[in-house]
Structure formats: C-alpha cells, structure tokens
Amino acid sequence: MSHRSELIATDINAYLAQHERKQLLRFLTCGSVDDGKSTMIGRLFYDAKLIYEDTLRALERDSAIHGTTGGGFDPALFTDGLRAEREQGITIDVAYRYFSTANRKFIIADTPGHEQYTRNMATGASTCDLAVILVDARNGVVTQTKRHSFIVSLLGIKHVLVAVNKMDLVGFRREVFDQIRADYIDFAARLDIPDLHFLPISALKGDNVVDPSPNMPWYQGSTLMHFLDNVYIGSDRNLEDFRFPVQLVNRPHLDFRGFCGTIASGIIRRGDEIMVLPSRKTSRVKSIVTFDGDQDEAFAPQAVTLTLTDEIDISRGDMIVRPGNMPKLEQRFDAMVVWMSEQPMVPGKQYLFKQTTKQVSGTIDTMRYQVDVNTLHRRDAPTLGLNEIGRCAITLAEPIAFDDYRRNRGTGSLIVIDRLTNVTVGAGMIMARVTADRRHDHWDDEPASVRLHSETSQVKPDERQARFGQRPATILLTGLTGSGKTTLAYAVERRLFDMGRVSTVLDGQNLRLGISRDLGFSSEDRSENMRRGAEFAKLINDAGLICLAAFVAPSEEVRQRAAEVIGRDRFLVVHLAAPIEVCRQRAEGNPYAQAEAGEIANFPGVSFPYDTPASPDLTLPTHEMSVDDCVDQIMTLLSARAIVR
C-alpha cells in the first residue's frame, strides 16, 4: 500500500482537496525496551514504499555502522535519530513520523520503552487515538508492558492493538501467540480498554506489517497497515458537550470583536444561545469566522473565531458553553497526576495549573494514594517522585470549568508548572467523582447498631391492594426547574383521589423545608436529598400508597440508586422534557437569572449538569401539552403497568 494517488499526476488541486478531507489518526507505539517499536515503524514505512530514496540510502549506510542486524538493513534507524539512541540501540525521546494512505493521514509517536523515560511515553500518548503495544514473543507480558498499558488506559485511549513481535524467533508458533493473548487479557480485565485487538508480527522480517505473512497461515486477521487504515474512530470525539476555551480576543478595528480558540468538543451553530464561564453571561452566536470564510456551523477540533450578538466582557481563559449543558465550575477536585520532575511533588506547595487556555495558581493539598503501575494496587505515599502516578486532591485560587477526563479529554486535562523555573513538572487527568473529604455518601451505610431489625406489619401487601384497588409504586417526575414537576404531581394526585385511589405527593422542595433543611445544593447534598426522598417513598409504598415524587434529580446515577432503594419493580421515571428557555420563563422568582449572576450555586441547566434520563418510562414535552393531557398520559402508563385499574 502506498500513499501515492493517481490524482497527483492528473489533477493536483483535486488531490490536495482529497488529502485535506482525509481523517487524521494519531497513534503511538509503546512497550518494553527492545520489543521492536522503532523497527516496526521503519518496516511499515519501508514495505509501504513511504521512504524517500535518499533517506533509504542513508539508512542502508548507517545500518552498517549503528545497526543491530549484523550489517543488514535496520529499520529502527528510521525513527531513532538521536546519536545516543543509535549508539545504545534504544529510543530515548518521542519521535514523530507522518504519512498518509488513500484513506487517512497518520501521525506516529514512537515512545521509549525504558522505565526512566515513562514521562516521555505519557507525553506522546496524551494526544493519541490508538496505541500499538508491542510484546516480545520470547518474553511475553512483562512489567513495562503492564506499565504502558496502565498509562494508555489512564489517558483514555480507547483503541489498543497488542502486536506480538519477533514471532520469527519462536518459530511462528500459534500456541506462543495464544498464551500471550490470554495473559494480556487476564491483566487488562482491570483496565478501561473498550476496544482491544491482537496481531502476530515480525517487524524485522515484515510478516503481517504491510503484507500478510505466509509463515503464519493460522492467522486470518488484518495486517498492521490494514488495521490502521480501517479502525473506526469516528465516534471517539465528543460532539455532545460544546466547550470553547477562549484563546484570544481579536479586535482588529472598532466594528469587530471576535473570540478565537479551538473547539475542545461539541458543535456550535450560528444563532445558538451560549453562556460564558465564569461570568455566566449569555448571548447568541452572531457569526462563525474561519480562514475559509464565515460558516454556519463548526465542530471539534476546528479553530474558529466566534462573534456574539451582545457586548460581553470575555477574556483569555474564559470558556464558552451552552446554557443547558454546563461543565463543573469548581476550585477543588481530584486528579490522577503523572509526575515528570526529578524534584518530588511537595503537598501544600504553590504551583501553577494550566487547563485549556486558563492558568491559575493552586496547591496539591494531599496525596490520596499512589498507584503501583506494576500491580495496579493502591498504596499510601506522602508524595510522588519522577514517573510515579497517584491520585491527588487539588485546590485552586479560583474556579475553573472542567469535565471528567473520561468524558472530555480537552477540558479534563491539565499540567502542573513550577512557579520559579516555569518547567512542567506534572500532568493531570481530572476526576469528577466525589472525594472522601466532602459530605459523606450515605447510600451504602449500614445501620448504626447491629441490634436493629425491621418489623413486619400484620396487614399484608395483598390486603392493602384489595382495600385501595391499586398497586403501590413511586412515580419520579424529573426535569429542570420550571418544567412543571410539582404542578403535574398535584394534578395526578387530584385525578387519583377523584377515582377513589390513595396517593401522596413527595416534593423535593418541601423536603428541603423540613427533613433536609441542613442540606445545600452541591452534588453531594442533592444526592443526599434524593436518598432521603427515596427512603420516604419506600415507606409510603410499603403502606400501599402511590407516591408522586417531584424532584429535579439531575444525576442519572442517583436516580438509579433511588430505584434500588424503592425497588425497581415499583419505580417509574417520567421525564418532563421542556426546553430550558421555557423553564426559564415559567420558574418562579427568576432563579435562572440568579444562577447566571452567581447568586445561586450549582443550579441544574446553568452551573450544574442535568443528565437526561437514559430510558424513562414516559417522556412528556410539557411545553407542548396541557396539564390535563399530561395527566392522561401518566394515567395511561399507570393502567398499562397495572398500578391502577
């Protein structure tokens, strides 16, 4: 396979246009030292006829001096360009190579295998879509294989190809390949690698690199080049959450003010409503300016300039998002940190933290644990040394807008900079999960005393059903503030009462006026309010009543935990799907404006995310339906589920 195209000779403009539209795949090669990473890349280029003739002659000449193949052609020299690398026959720094085929453009990062250069490997992997992990067929899965696999998983690389190299030195035996494959699968079960593949190759001889190997007829899969050219990465980009970190305010003259940057994720269209963080000011997109002229829409990872319909104070480091899809805006969070400095990390020391285009000062408060990358076990440690990885609690001088790294690599990553030397000393992956030093999560708590036990009523559940003519259930009405949850809950209660049925409304706001008056509005407090509500709903259902629970309940995870408490067989979710613009107009007291002004913190739809229910039992567009129509739909659902007759 070659990168050449017939269009080069016939229509150069058409070729350049075709080349511009090709999908870009970034991948890295990693693994233990001497597993053959550089050799594999050199063979890939050589067999695909991607090496220029003068470079090829130079490589053939250098092979006699620096090569490790007894004077024959050494493909590894194609990427090992440093003098120290050629003298030692190892890779020290990350080497980048570029090529293209008829389908794709490629950027290869050849990363070092030595443990002391782990930070270099992490740097090369940080922007990649795919990892090729080489394993020496003679040695199998070794410590450094596990180390690099863990870093690949930590950095969120979804596609991994394990290339079992040097099959020629084990007689191309299938049982060797199968054993290594089984060993790696057993180890990788503890990692987050959603797309895992295996390939037997001989990089030095060229078996299964570009052309299928006649020496391994038992392997019927694709070659390395075919795999790289066809692996599907189209769904890897986050096109749901629009995040636009502002890099530059462009003010060439009095009549133009644009905000320049690279879209980290999502899609933006002309006329869309946007919000600026941290000020929470809103406006609409007036135009999307690019090098090729104004566009109707743009998407990640395009570099664009946005102009807005309103004059808003926006500076470098601010982030433009959608009002109904907000990142977290906090000063305190946890991150998995790869330490890259000879000087160990000092908890409590002031560092600079750079995330997207924003740079703020802060401290690493404490080390929660260090990860032994050889065994994946956690261990207590006071600090991090060079190439070590651990989970750290970080506090910044001001809030930043971020997402969980697993969801959004662009806004979930940061680097740590020494304030005195301005040297990057660490790289972090933000974890949005709740940390242990915040409000305790009571969902899984055991009773305070082992002497406690449940009492059983003398009235049986079937007797209650016969008396009330209904089956007990909890109907969770969830949606943004202003979507109509409480209004609809009381309307359904009225309908059921008129039918002679027994129900009660459990309103989340009423709960906060009483049993939950001690709770705020952080994610932990919202979770606890829902937990208390779920426990109440369970007691109501145990009494044979229907519970109409009106809660914002913004977290899908918390809703699922509530279902476990109440019982999934008697838990229904009704999503009130009114647009945020409608909710803004309906909500009493103008809470959306207060949230945008910073007067109300962690407000769903503004400064706090709302997870749309994954599979609700009923979805009601309350902006299009009357209250009576919505009640009719809910009553139909209750009848279909045999809750009421």
* Domain shared by 524 and 426, yes or no: no
Q: What is the pLDDT of residue 419?
A: 93
pTM exceeds cut of 0.75 = no
Mean pLDDT by 10 residues, the chain (645 residues): 57 71 84 77 75 63 55 56 42 66 82 64 80 92 86 88 93 94 89 90 88 92 90 83 94 90 94 90 93 91 93 93 86 91 91 95 90 80 88 91 90 93 92 56 62 76 90 95 94 95 93 86 84 94 95 90 92 94 88 79 82 91 94 95 91
Q: What is the pLDDT of residue 92?
A: 42
In a domain, 463, yes or no: no
| Domains of the chain: total | 4
* Domain shared by 214 and 270, yes or no: no
Inter-residue contact 525 to 553 (CB < 8 Å):
no
Look up residue 361 and give its two tokens: 């000062």
Give me the CATH number covering residue 382.
2.40.30.10
* Domain shared by 310 and 414, yes or no: no
Q: What is the pLDDT of residue 205?
A: 86
| CA distance to 122, 271, 349, per residue, from 371 (Å) | 15, 47, 22
Question: Among residues 284, 300, 321, which one ends one of the domains?
Answer: 321
* Domain shared by 21 and 150, yes or no: yes
In a domain, 633, yes or no: yes
Inter-residue contact 219 to 213 (CB < 8 Å):
yes
In a domain, 154, yes or no: yes
Report strand pairing: 23-31 vs 130-136: parallel
In a domain, 546, yes or no: yes
Q: What is the pLDDT of residue 116?
A: 59
* Domain shared by 192 and 101, yes or no: yes
In a domain, 216, yes or no: yes
Tell me, rounded to whole angstroms, the distance of Cα 428 from its chain centroid: 14
E strand segments, 302-449: 303-308, 319-321, 328-339, 350-355, 358-372, 377-379, 389-402, 413-418, 424-431
Range(s) of the domain holding residue 630: 468-640
* Domain shared by 260 and 156, yes or no: no
* Domain shared by 300 and 396, yes or no: no
* Domain shared by 224 and 297, yes or no: no
* Domain shared by 297 and 261, yes or no: yes
Question: Among residues 291, 321, 351, which one ends one of the domains?
Answer: 321
Q: What is the pLDDT of residue 151?
A: 86
* Domain shared by 313 and 221, yes or no: no
Give me the CATH number covering residue 532.
3.40.50.300
User: Helix crossing, 143-154 with 118-125: angle to 10°?
Assistant: 40
Look up residue 515 and give its two tokens: 């049993």
In a domain, 404, yes or no: yes
Measured CA to CA, the distance from residue 198 to residue 189 in angstroms comes to 15
* Domain shared by 140 and 192, yes or no: yes
* Domain shared by 339 and 363, yes or no: yes
In a domain, 113, yes or no: yes
